[in-house]
């Protein structure tokens, strides 16, 4: 059985958008003691993504698309996600 990190699962899920640039940053350490934080981390992330699919879409539409792809992560402990998304 292979154990993957939440970061790796997020990256894999977002690959379906065919990004030209993708950064997934675990910010959990900055949120220790805050709502939703867990001692083991992997709860707070920043995503910076550039993908052709976002061209001409509103910021809200891009965020909804990303959140839908990561629904399982939110259901299993992802608490907060900062998103910077642009079209290629």
Over the stretch 10-31, which tens digit does the pLDDT of each residue have? Answer: 999 999 999 999 999 998 866 5
Architecture of the domain delimited by 6-86: 2-Layer Sandwich (3.30)
Strand runs labelled E in the chain: 21-26, 44-50, 80-86
**pLDDT, tens digit (0-9, with 9 covering 90-100), for 28-63:** 866 556 655 555 668 889 999 999 999 999 999 999
Question: What distance in Å separates the CA atoms of residue 10 and residue 32, rounded to the nearest whole number?
Answer: 21
pTM: 0.84
Q: Crossing angle of helices 59-69/6-14, nearest 10°?
A: 120
End-to-end CA distance of the chain: 36
Q: Which residue has the higher pLDDT, 4 or 71?
A: 71
The per-residue pLDDT for range 55-85, each reduced to its tens digit, is 999 999 999 999 999 999 999 989 899 999 9
| Contact between 27 and 46 (Cβ < 8 Å) | yes
CA distance 57 to 48: 16
Domain definitions of the chain by residue range = 6-86
């Amino acid at each position: 059985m292979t154990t993957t990190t939440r970061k790796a699962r997020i990256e894999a899920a977002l690959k379906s958008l065919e990004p030209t640039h993708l950064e997934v940053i675990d910010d959990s350490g900055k949120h220790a003691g805050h709502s939703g934080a867990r001692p083991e981390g992997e709860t707070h992330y920043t995503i910076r993504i550039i993908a052709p699919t976002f061209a001409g879409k509103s910021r809200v539409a891009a965020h909804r698309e990303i959140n839908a792809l990561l629904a399982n992560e939110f259901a299993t402990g992802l608490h907060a996600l900062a998103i910077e998304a642009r079209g290629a």
